């Protein structure tokens, strides 16, 4: 790891600003202060929806150093992330992984993985393993 | 076929009365476990969880005062089980 890279960061994309920010708070409590978690939830006016510009801004900001893992909720969140990914340079793309994972469990798993100093691809895999963990 | 990799070490540890293995303590535990190469499991309430998986550990539902059994297999199993047992007892 290059010096000063720090831990992988998380980008949480949800239709709801409150889901994204509440989950960021929850994941930060479990993972500790070394992992930066960016909440990109809600539409431009704060209503339910996604803000493509904000998602792109978050991805661009995260696409350096140790990189970022992106978690999404449903439908157009996925489309917003796809659209933002299409705007990134090949070099930026090397610093970003999108996790195909349930949002809450995936964010917790990725945040704790990130806090152990893993790569963004490993954090995404940790999130994706959440699909196989039974709740009951 | 190193004989050391077959070693399975078990340690009992009791959570402090006021600390459940949720949220921040669970994260601290998983982070500590992830340092070791050994396979590490924690048993409580009749369930056994992978010590390196936060979702697994949270699913244990281990409340304050719970008796945990940590078992580790692999080259650094003894160090892992010992240090995690100490960490559990010292959680705050």
Domain assignment present for residue B91? The answer is no
CATH of A9-132 among 3.30.230.10, 3.50.50.60, 1.10.10.10, 3.40.50.510: 3.40.50.510
Residue B1 falls within a domain, yes or no?
A: no
Per-residue confidence (pLDDT) for residue B75, from 0 to 100: 94
How far B7 CA lies from chain A's nearest CA (Å)? 25
User: H or E element: which one contains B89?
Assistant: helix B77-90
Task: Identify whether B59 is part of a domain.
Answer: yes
ipTM: 0.85
What is the mean predicted confidence (pLDDT) over A64-74?
97
Which residues of chain B have a Cβ shorter than 8 Å from any chain A Cβ? 23-24, 26-28, 30-31, 34-35, 53-56, 58-59
Picking from A30, A105, A129, the nearest residue to B26 by CB comes out as A30
DSSP B22-47: SHHHHHHHHHHHTT-SSEEEEEETTE
Q: Judge whether B39 lies within some domain.
A: yes
Is residue B63 assigned to a domain? yes
Give the pLDDT confidence of A76-126 residue by residue, as tens digits. Answer: 999 999 999 999 999 999 999 999 999 999 999 999 999 999 999 999 999
User: Six-digit token pair at B83?
Assistant: 């240090």
Range of the domain at B45: 9-67+75-86
Nearest-neighbour CA in chain B from A33: distance (Å): 11
Tally of structural domains, chain B: 1
Q: How many CB pairs under 8 A join A and B?
A: 39
**Tens place of pLDDT per residue across chain B (92 aa):** 455 556 899 999 999 999 999 989 999 999 999 999 999 999 998 999 999 999 999 999 999 999 999 999 999 999 999 999 999 999 99
The answer to whether A133 contacts B23, with C-beta atoms less than 8 Å apart, is no
> Domain holding B37: CATH number?
3.30.1340.10
Q: Inter-axis angle of helices B23-33 and A103-115, to 10 degrees?
A: 50
- Residue B74's pLDDT is 96
């Amino acid at each position: 790891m290059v010096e000063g890279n720090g831990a992988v960061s998380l980008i949480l994309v949800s239709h709801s600003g409150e889901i994204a920010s509440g989950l960021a708070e929850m994941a930060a409590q479990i993972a500790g202060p070394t992992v930066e978690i960016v909440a990109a939830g809600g539409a431009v006016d704060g209503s339910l929806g996604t803000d493509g510009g904000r998602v792109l801004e978050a991805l661009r900001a995260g696409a350096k150093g140790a990189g970022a893992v992106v978690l999404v909720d449903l439908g157009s969140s996925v489309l917003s992330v796809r659209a933002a990914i299409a705007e990134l340079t090949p070099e930026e793309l090397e610093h970003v992984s999108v996790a195909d994972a349930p949002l809450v469990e995936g964010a917790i798993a990725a945040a704790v993985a990130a806090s152990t100093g893993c790569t963004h691809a490993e954090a995404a895999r940790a999130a994706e393993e959440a699909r196989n963990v039974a709740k009951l | 076929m190193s004989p050391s990799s077959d070693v399975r070490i078990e340690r009992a540890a009791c959570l402090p009365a006021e600390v459940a293995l949720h949220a921040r303590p669970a994260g601290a535990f998983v982070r500590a476990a992830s340092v070791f190469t050994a396979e590490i499991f924690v048993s409580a309430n009749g369930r056994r969880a992978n010590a390196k998986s936060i979702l697994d550990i949270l699913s244990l539902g281990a409340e304050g005062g719970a008796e945990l059994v940590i078992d580790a297999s692999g080259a650094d199993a003894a160090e892992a089980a010992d240090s995690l047992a100490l960490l559990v007892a010292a959680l705050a």
